[in-house]
Chains A and B, each alone.
Chain A
Amino acid sequence: MTAHPLDVLIVEDEALLAEELSFLVREAGLRDVGHAMSSAEAVDLACKLTPDLALVDVHLKDGPTGIDAARLIVEDCGAVVLFMTANVKRLPDDFAGACGVIGKPYSEHAVKTALAYLEICLREGHAPGPPPLGLALAPRFRELWGGGLAETG
């Protein structure tokens, strides 16, 4: 349980969205370690920078490749992935190994509360309660982090 801020990689092909997301990440007390716009760049950076969390859009510069990129980031680079996408319906049932999704368009508040919630999940290995509005967890992570649900309601 280290106190250093969690490292976050932003995978988003819209430069202005990535820029604003970077502010939100830092305001949530996390560290923005890098931005990727394509799937290859995303996997490369994820393995090089070993972030704790990668925020991944489904639609990237090279097409709807975010899902495959997420799978590689989870399996080969060991990061937890959170999808941030307008394509929620496009996600496979297993979320490609990602922990969950925030649907676009998201609000500033939704992102901040989701990041705060995920930080606790990642640090403590279980959820502090049900996920905040706007964040949907993948089935596997609901099970993995669900330990706290019984205590907090």
Chain B
Amino acid sequence: MTQPPDEGSAGAGADASDRASDRALEAALADKTALLHEVDHRVKNNLQLIASLILLQSRRTADETARMALKTVLERVTAVATVHRRLFQGDPLRFDVADFVRDLAGDLAAAAGRDDLTIALELDPVAIPASAAAPFALVVNELLGNSLKHAFPAGRSGRIRVALSNGGERCRLTISDDGIGRQGQPAGFGSTIVQLLCQQLHAELEISDAQPGVLAVVTVPMSLPATPLRTTP
């Protein structure tokens, strides 16, 4: 109305329809954002539900072997759940590995209930694609869990070191302990998980005897060749 009449008559109609379509776009975007939050919320709640189901089942299980199996499953689910709690906190496409490892190490150490073991964390800030977060988390869970469960029989104290370094193109995760070593232990399902997921992540895996203890090194590309939002090829 305050515009000069010669510009106004042609421009006003176009402006009004621009504004209307802007509003429609904003509304559509707001709907999508709300939907995304709803999905994120449901994923987190459902992971919590799965964890609760496993815990409740394990509380009713008298058989020690069965209870240990449920505990192992719970640890794996918890590792994935921890990833989801941490996703979308900053950049939605990147996942901060150092914070995650700190979180997971606390959970695993508490689950092991061993005050005589020290976990030393030397973590550089490293971010990997969000799509690699869950498989990477499971690899860390297995390797660190292995050291906590098998390297130190009751009565033997020791130290586990978890280091994460940023090599530009690739990041390097080192998990080592000064425990009893592998001693010809048969490879279990945990090793299968680690091998399969390292293949999926295009990661190099090297496990060696450190005398004393075991040294595991995983080298992971910081960007994946696959499309960033897909988890499986």
Contacts and interface: CB of A to CB of B under 8 A. Distances in A.
B107 A104 contact: no
B40 to A, nearest CB: 7
Contacts of B103: 133-134
Contact of B41 (A14, A17, A86, A134): A86
B10 interface: no
A108 B82 CA distance: 12
Contacts of A113: 110
Interface residues of B, number: 25
Nearest to A23: B59
Interface string A95-107: 0000000011111
B105 to A, nearest CB: 10
Contact of A20 (B40, B55, B106): B55
* 3 closest cross-chain pairs (CB), A and B: A86-B44, A105-B81, A109-B110
Interface string B83-104: 0110000000000000000110
B82 A107 contact: yes
27 contacts: A14-B45, A14-B49, A16-B49, A16-B52, A16-B53, A16-B56, A17-B48, A59-B45, A86-B40, A86-B41, A86-B44, A86-B48, A89-B37, A103-B44, A105-B47, A105-B48, A105-B51, A105-B85, A107-B82, A108-B51, A108-B78, A108-B111, A109-B107, A109-B111, A113-B110, A133-B102, A133-B106
B48 A106 contact: yes
A61 B146 CA distance: 41
B106 A19 contact: no
Contacts of A106: 48, 85
Interface in A84-143: 86-87, 89, 103-110, 112-113, 132-134
Contacts of A104: 44-45, 47-48, 85
B103 to A, nearest CB: 6
A119 B205 CA distance: 44
Contacts of B45: 14, 59, 86, 104-105
Contacts of A17: 48-49, 52
Contact of A107 (B40, B41, B44, B81): B81
Interface in B33-85: 37, 40-41, 44-45, 47-49, 51-53, 55-56, 59, 78, 81-82, 84-85
Interface string A31-69: 000000000000000000000000000010000000000
Contacts of B47: 104-105
A87 B41 CA distance: 7
A113 B111 CA distance: 12
A109 B106 contact: yes
